[in-house]
């Protein structure tokens, strides 16, 4: 690990500087986004229709310059924070660099595929083909996520993250340069491979270097950046949709490729190795140096305990040489499968809640809810992203005051209720009149709020932190594969279901999935709030699923 000349000068977390860095980075990103949107609208409205290429070129140049400035500003601001308070702000630095591109794609792809310039270029698509185009990123992501854990265990977390981000950038560049629909879909598939490689690994990385008392707060930071990416993606498309050339849909992907390439380079240069990964590979002195660099005094006991137990275990070095096949089967060994199964189940059901159906097809949803004017539906989609971003901030602040178990159960019930309300009032929607459409629109916003406060916050970190050290990367990658597969099904079937005469039946399907998940979590989900990773492992050893089920059924059998 490279030496830091300033290491040890300032010790202990400084929350004032931490929040200053957060505000600095987010404020700069939002201000640049507003400048982008304002300039695009002005250029698109004032430039004569006879010369749209010039308008597109000027807008493109401004976008690139402005976004490169943002890319420079965010790492710079987080680096300043890192100098003053390394423990917490280091994690935020990782989040800023690496979590914005994927969900920016989610905010882009829905609006792009309904733009007039995109349709005129590639033709009008049926609901099935539309769903395939949007969801083509997901199956490659699911496939690559199965191997992400093995790659992260062999190469280390930062290198694996950097490779994934670079592949993502290549895919986005192909989408921007697409001349026919096949090339566009190939770009999305390559983008998905990169996304699957680094998203799950990043969650594991943050989890492994986070103190228990703030682990959830720090791992809630990625959803904050994700929602910021959504917001910027929606409003970038809202602005570029007014341009008359193909740059109206190419520009968002050019921006996305630049961001992903920048984040790939940043992760390779600035992210330290995971100390737990170093310990597992026998590099104990380096792991101690990383812990000291991160200034995580509150986790010294946990780190030392983990190091001693792993280093002195006779099989630790043997496990490093085991084949990928054996590592995969380790996930289903008797002492691990009770933790692998909940992670895979929860990550899959997180998508079956329908959240990405709402995000991918937001313009279509609002149009069906009565906002027939395309600009209005685009704007409402952007507002939904702003709402999600706003409510993620309190979720970040109070994350460790809410238990993982309670937020998952109560959040699932709230999601089910809103979905049932949308489905029940769907037939009362009229294009221009009626209260039904406002109930549907408000419920879509409420659904996004509840999801951001509960399931978006807790499930991904829960899936990572309940795993034992030797299978954490592989199990988390498998869980993300489940997430991508469910996401593919949602993205593929949502436009098909919405095109039917009984289109609001899709909401009953999603509501039923979230309600079932809440019931299962009430029976089998142990609480992990405030526990160290070792304490979580002991909790799962003492809490078998069969005993939990028998305990839950005992009052029923006695009554009968």
Domain residue limits, the chain:
15-271+331-559
**CA separation for the pair 491, 188 (Å, rounded):** 14
248 has a pLDDT exceeding 80: yes
User: Which of the pair, 348 or 444, is modelled with greater confidence?
Assistant: 348
pLDDT value, residue 45: 43
**CA separation for the pair 58, 455 (Å, rounded):** 41
The size of the chain, in residues, is 560
Round to the nearest angstrom and report the end-to-end CA distance of the chain.
64
Mean pLDDT of 133-162: 84
The residue among 498, 489, 329, 360 whose CA lies nearest residue 422 is 498
**CA separation for the pair 277, 284 (Å, rounded):** 10
445 has a pLDDT exceeding 80: yes
The secondary structure element, H or E, covering residue 338 is helix 337-352
534 has a pLDDT exceeding 80: no
Q: Are the C-beta atoms of 415 and 453 separated by less than 8 Å?
A: no
User: Which of the pair, 411 or 237, is modelled with greater confidence?
Assistant: 411
User: Which of the pair, 213 or 391, is modelled with greater confidence?
Assistant: 391
Confidence of residue 2 (pLDDT cuts 50, 70, 90): very low
Q: What is the mean pLDDT of the chain?
A: 70
483 has a pLDDT exceeding 90: no
* Tokens (6 digits) for 554: 């005992």
Q: Are the C-beta atoms of 491 and 136 separated by less than 8 Å?
A: no
- List the single range of 103-112, 251-260, 342-351, 408-417 with lowest mean pLDDT: 103-112
DSSP 399: G
Highest mean pLDDT among 53-67, 96-110, 412-426: 412-426
**CA separation for the pair 545, 549 (Å, rounded):** 6
Confidence of residue 38 (pLDDT cuts 50, 70, 90): very low
8-28, pLDDT tens digit by residue?
Answer: 333 333 444 334 444 444 444
224 has a pLDDT exceeding 60: yes
* Tokens (6 digits) for 306: 């983990």
**CA separation for the pair 226, 223 (Å, rounded):** 5
User: Which of the pair, 507 or 75, is modelled with greater confidence?
Assistant: 507
Confidence of residue 516 (pLDDT cuts 50, 70, 90): very high
- List the single range of 121-130, 379-388, 454-463 with lowest mean pLDDT: 379-388
pLDDT value, residue 319: 46
66 has a pLDDT exceeding 90: no
Confidence of residue 317 (pLDDT cuts 50, 70, 90): very low
DSSP 504: T
Mean pLDDT of 47-63: 39
pLDDT value, residue 503: 61
499 has a pLDDT exceeding 90: no
305 has a pLDDT exceeding 60: no
Mean pLDDT of 502-523: 86
Mean pLDDT of 43-49: 40
The secondary structure element, H or E, covering residue 444 is helix 436-453
- List the single range of 414-428, 464-478, 532-546 with lowest mean pLDDT: 532-546
pLDDT value, residue 218: 66
User: Which of the pair, 358 or 185, is modelled with greater confidence?
Assistant: 185
* Tokens (6 digits) for 49: 């229709």
What's the CATH fold of domain 15-271+331-559? Growth Hormone; Chain: A; (1.20.1250)
Confidence of residue 138 (pLDDT cuts 50, 70, 90): confident
Class of residue 79 by CB neighbours under 10 A (exposed 0-12, middle 13-18, buried 19+): middle
Q: Are the C-beta atoms of 302 and 212 separated by less than 8 Å?
A: yes
Confidence of residue 76 (pLDDT cuts 50, 70, 90): very low
549 has a pLDDT exceeding 80: no
68 has a pLDDT exceeding 50: no
Confidence of residue 163 (pLDDT cuts 50, 70, 90): very high
Tokens 């879909």 belong to 185
């Amino acid at each position: 690990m490279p030496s830091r000349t300033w290491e040890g000068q300032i010790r202990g977390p400084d929350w004032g500087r931490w929040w200053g860095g957060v505000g600095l980075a987010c404020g700069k990103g939002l201000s640049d986004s507003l400048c982008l949107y304002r300039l695009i609208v002005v250029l698109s409205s004032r430039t004569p229709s006879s010369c749209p290429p010039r308008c597109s070129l000027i807008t493109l140049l401004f976008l690139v310059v402005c976004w490169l400035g943002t890319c420079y500003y965010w790492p710079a601001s987080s680096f300043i924070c890192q100098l003053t308070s390394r423990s917490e702000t280091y994690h935020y630095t990782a989040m800023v660099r690496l979590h914005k591109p994927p969900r920016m794609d989610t905010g882009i792809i829905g609006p792009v595929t309904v733009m007039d310039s995109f349709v005129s270029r590639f033709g009008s698509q049926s609901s099935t083909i539309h769903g395939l185009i949007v969801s083509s990123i997901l199956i490659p992501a699911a496939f690559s996520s199965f191997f992400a854990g093995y790659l992260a265990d062999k190469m280390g977390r930062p290198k694996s993250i950097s490779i994934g981000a670079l592949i993502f950038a290549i895919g986005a560049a192909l989408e921007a340069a697409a001349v026919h629909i096949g090339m566009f879909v190939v770009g999305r598939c390559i983008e998905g491979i990169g996304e699957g490689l680094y998203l799950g690994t990043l969650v594991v990385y943050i989890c492994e270097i986070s103190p228990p008392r703030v682990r959830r707060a720090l791992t809630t930071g990625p959803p904050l950046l994700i929602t910021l990416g959504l917001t910027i993606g929606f409003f970038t498309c809202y602005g570029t949709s007014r341009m008359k050339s193909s740059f109206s849909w190419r520009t968002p992907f050019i921006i996305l490729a630049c961001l992903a390439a920048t984040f790939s380079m940043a992760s390779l240069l600035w992210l330290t190795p995971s100390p737990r990964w170093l310990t597992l590979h026998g590099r104990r002195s380096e792991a101690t140096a990383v812990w000291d660099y991160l200034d995580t005094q509150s986790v010294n006991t946990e780190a030392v305990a983990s190091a001693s137990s792993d280093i002195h275990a006779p099989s630790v070095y043997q496990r490093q040489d085991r084949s990928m096949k054996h590592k995969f089967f380790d996930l289903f060994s008797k002492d691990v499968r009770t933790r692998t199964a909940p992670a895979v189940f929860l990550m899959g059901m997180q998508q079956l809640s329908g959240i990405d159906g709402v995000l991918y097809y937001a313009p279509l949803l609002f149009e069906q809810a009565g906002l027939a004017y395309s600009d209005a539906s685009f704007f409402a989609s952007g507002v939904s992203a702003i709402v999600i971003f706003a409510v993620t901030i309190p979720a970040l602040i109070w994350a460790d005051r809410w238990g993982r178990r309670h937020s998952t159960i109560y959040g699932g019930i709230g999601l089910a209720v809103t979905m049932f309300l949308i489905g029940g009032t769907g037939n009362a929607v009229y294009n221009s009149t009626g209260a039904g459409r406002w109930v549907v629109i408000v419920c879509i916003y409420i659904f996004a709020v509840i999801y951001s406060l509960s399931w978006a916050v807790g499930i991904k970190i829960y899936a990572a932190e309940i795993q034992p050290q030797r299978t954490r990367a592989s199990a988390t990658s498998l869980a993300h594969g489940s997430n991508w597969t469910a996401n593919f099904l949602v993205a593929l079937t949502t436009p098909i279901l919405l095109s039917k005469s009984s289109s609001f039946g899709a909401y009953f399907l999603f509501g039923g999935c979230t309600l079932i998940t809440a019931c299962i979590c009430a029976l089998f989900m142990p609480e992990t709030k405030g526990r160290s990773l070792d304490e979580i492992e002991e909790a799962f050893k003492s809490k078998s699923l069969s005993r939990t089920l028998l305990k839950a059924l005992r009052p029923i059998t006695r009554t009968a």
